[in-house]
A and B are shown apart, each in its own frame.
Chain A
Amino acid sequence: MPNKINLFSFLISFVFIFSLGCANNFAFANEEHGAAEHASKKFNAGKLIMEHVSDEHGWHILTLGEGTEHEKHIALPLPIIIYSQTKGLVVFSSSNFVNHETHHAQAYQGYSLDEQKIISEDASEVFYDLSITKNVFALFISLALMLLVFISVANTYKRNPGVAPKGLQSFIEPLIVFLRDEVVKPSIGHKYHKYLPFLLTLFFFIFFNNLLGLIPILPGGANVTGNIAVTMVLALTVFGITLFSAKKDFWIHIVNTPGVPWWLKFPIPLMPIIELMGLISKPLVLCLRLFANITAGHIIALAFFSLIFIFGEMSAGVGYGVSIVSVAFTIFMNFLELLVAFLQAYVFTLLASLYFGSALEEHHHEEAHH
């Protein structure tokens, strides 16, 4: 199938061009540490892990000559976009935060980086950091990938309708049909058509980003679905749609819960408070579950790798010995994460559709008997 080969070769060349491009064409963001600094430097597993699972300005790829005088960090510089209430829009490359001659961190246009957080020299300045960070860039890559995959699949469908699926289509179709028939339709009921496109986008967004997060090099490796901002936006979108599509019964259930004694609602509105807490906890749980699961997966995989270096600092032989166990455990974790990648996307979508379903539910008490 020429179509499939095209897509795969595109993806592979995409990865290669990016990795080569980063090494050759993009500006090197070099950092050299002084001798005094690196003498005190010991391997810090906690710092390494936190750096990997959090966001950063610019995309760090690898460090050459680590611990020596000529330590070099190869990174893909990303645009820094700052909207300041006094200066307006400020845009520059993240490589400007590193001095090209001394390779030390430096301030640029009145801003500097502190632990990947942009701070202004003018403490009273109010500004918003809208930079294309590592996670934003990874987000764009994953969304571009989604557009590419699903629009090409849609075109295949349009080209030969009524024919059994082929290639990428036959991978996507069972997922779509599964979500439609096993997740969305039973949870929402006959009005599922309206919510299906959003829930499909949601599922594949989480699934793609979870999988991309498992790839250790550039187009993947970012912790997008393990970032609280991303999961928060997803959870709040689900929450917003739930509230907007909620029917009268849904609100009655919160304000005046049927089937409970009146003294639980008046004079102290105990039930409404509990119901309200339940309502608010739903998006909170959605947001935290995805964030915690994916971040935990990344942390565990990195922790196994860190073990090698912790033991390696004691003695090189022990480091090599531990590496066998660590690699074995990391492989196991990767397989587990493959499962988690699907499972979390599934759970998020399932819960979102259950919330939509509960918001749409009418004649609550008649239905309860079924």
Chain B
Amino acid sequence: MQLVTPGIGLIFWMVLSFGIVFFLLKKFAWGPILGIITEREQSIAKALKAAEIAKEDLKLYQNQNEKLLNEARAEREAMMKEARETKDRILAEAKQKAGEEANRIMESARTEIKAEKNAAINEIKTQVAVLSVEIAEKIIKSELSSDDKQKSLMANLLAEAKLN
């Protein structure tokens, strides 16, 4: 039967042409195609790996950043606290000192005022004595400036004395 009898001519041409085409395809098609596909796959794999590494790095940097940030925040907090304490202390000290100073100044002012007052009183006293003597002198002088006056005075004084 022809259908299941392999024809010698077809076998001959098949071997020849298939062989030639195989070598041509191997050299001009499969070589370049497979080479470039493999190359591309490798480059994609490499790029993916690099991206993965970059992601890891980024994560690491982010963690570091976070840590630094936290540290900075803590430091700031500490500094603020310290500053507040220092301020409070200084304020308290200043208040105390100011109070003391004020007291001292008041005290000294008070003593000074007292001394001044005493001095002034003493001065007034001396002035009053001097003034009284001077007035008395002037009065006497004016009272006894003429004879008439001296006589009237005598009379007055006598009158007064008589009344008593």
State the A residues within 8 Å of B (CB).
50, 53-55, 81, 115-117, 128-133, 135-136, 139-140, 143, 146-147, 150-151, 153-154, 157-158, 161-162, 172-173, 176-177, 180, 196-198, 200-201, 205, 227-230, 232-234, 237, 295
B32 — which chain A residues lie within 8 A by C-beta? 154, 157-158
In whole angstroms, what is the CA distance A302 to B8 when docked? 27
* Distance in angstroms between the alpha carbons of A173 and B36 in the assembled complex: 11
Alpha-carbon gap, A50 to B39, bound state (A): 49
Q: A56's closest neighbor in chain B, by CB?
A: B2
B11 to A229, Cβ gap below 8 A?
Answer: yes
| A-chain residues with CB within 8 Å of residue B8 when the two chains form the complex | 128-130
A-contacting 9-mer, from B19-27, B66-74, B150-158: B19-27
- Whole-angstrom distance between the alpha carbons of A162 and B11 in the complex? 41
Using CB atoms, name the residue of chain B closest to A157: B36
Chain B, range 62-118, C-beta contacts under 8 Å to A: none
Give the Cβ gap from A356 to chain B, nearest Cβ, in Å: 15
* A177–B36 CA distance with the chains assembled, in angstroms: 12
Size of the chain B interface, CB-CB below 8 angstroms: 33
Shortest C-beta distance, A169 to chain B (Å), equals: 9
Report how far A132 CA is from B14 CA in the complex, Å.
Answer: 11
A129 CB contacts on chain B under 8 angstroms: 7-9
Chain B contact residues, CB within 8 Å of chain A: 2-15, 17-18, 21-22, 24-26, 28-34, 36-37, 39-40, 43
Taking a contact as CB atoms under 8 Å apart, the answer to whether B37 and A229 are in contact is no
Looking at the complex, which one of B11, B13, B30 makes contact with A232 (CB distance below 8 Å)?
A: B11
Question: Smallest distance from the beta carbon of A25 to chain B beta carbons, Å?
Answer: 25
Distance in angstroms from B28 CB to nearest chain A CB is 5
Chain B, interface SS category: helix
For the complex of A and B, the 10 pairs showing the least CB-CB separation, nearest first, are A229-B6, A150-B29, A229-B10, A197-B30, A197-B26, A154-B29, A157-B36, A130-B9, A136-B13, A154-B32
- Known contacts: A197-B22, A198-B22. The answer to whether A139 contacts B17 by CB under 8 A is yes
Point out the residues of chain A lying under 8 angstroms from B14, CB to CB. Answer: 136, 139, 229-230, 233
Contacts known (A54-B2, A150-B29, A229-B10); A176 close to B37, Cβ less than 8 A:
yes
Q: Do A196 and B2 have beta carbons less than 8 Å apart?
A: no
- Residues of chain B within 8 A of A161, CB atoms compared: 36, 39-40
Chain A residues whose C-beta falls within 8 Å of the C-beta of B21 in the assembled complex:
143, 146-147, 201, 205
Q: Most chain-A Cβ atoms within 10 A of its Cβ — which of B3, B5, B10, B39?
A: B10
Which one of B12, B25, B39, B40 has the highest number of Cβ atoms from chain A below 10 Å of its Cβ? B25
**C-alpha spacing A50/B18, complex, angstroms:** 26
A133 in contact with B9 (CB, 8 Å): yes
User: A154, A176, A232: which has the most chain B beta carbons within 10 Å?
Assistant: A154
Q: Known: A128-B9, A140-B17, A201-B21. Is A154-B2 also a contact (CB below 8 A)?
A: no
- Name the residue on B nearest A233 (C-beta): B14
| Cβ-defined partner of A180 (8 Å) among B4, B11, B24, B34 | B34
Q: A230 touching B33 by the CB < 8 A rule?
A: no
Q: Which residue of B lies closest to A204 (CB)?
A: B25
Given A147-B24, A233-B14, A233-B15, answer yes or no on A154-B33 (Cβ-Cβ < 8 Å): yes
* Assembled-state Cα–Cα distance A295/B26 (Å): 29
B11 neighbours in A (Cβ, 8 Å): 229, 232-233
Alpha-carbon separation in the docked complex, A295 to B8 (Å): 19
Please name all residues of chain B whose beta carbon is closer than 8 Å to the beta carbon of A150 when the two chains form the complex. 25, 28-30, 33
Q: Which B residues touch A143, using CB under 8 A?
A: 17-18, 21
Q: How far is the CB of B27 from chain A (nearest CB, A)?
A: 9
For the complex formed, measure the closest distance between the CB of B97 and the CB atoms of chain A, giving whole angstroms. 81
- Residues of chain A within 8 A (CB-CB) of B5 are 228
If A158-B36, A198-B22, A201-B25 touch, does A130 touch B12 (CB 8 Å cutoff)?
A: yes
Q: Which chain B residue shows the least CB distance to A205?
A: B18
Residues of B within 8 A of A130 (CB): 8-9, 12-13
Q: 9 additional contacts, CB 8 Å, given A128-B8, A151-B24, A228-B3? A: A128-B9, A129-B8, A136-B13, A140-B13, A157-B32, A157-B37, A176-B37, A201-B22, A232-B11
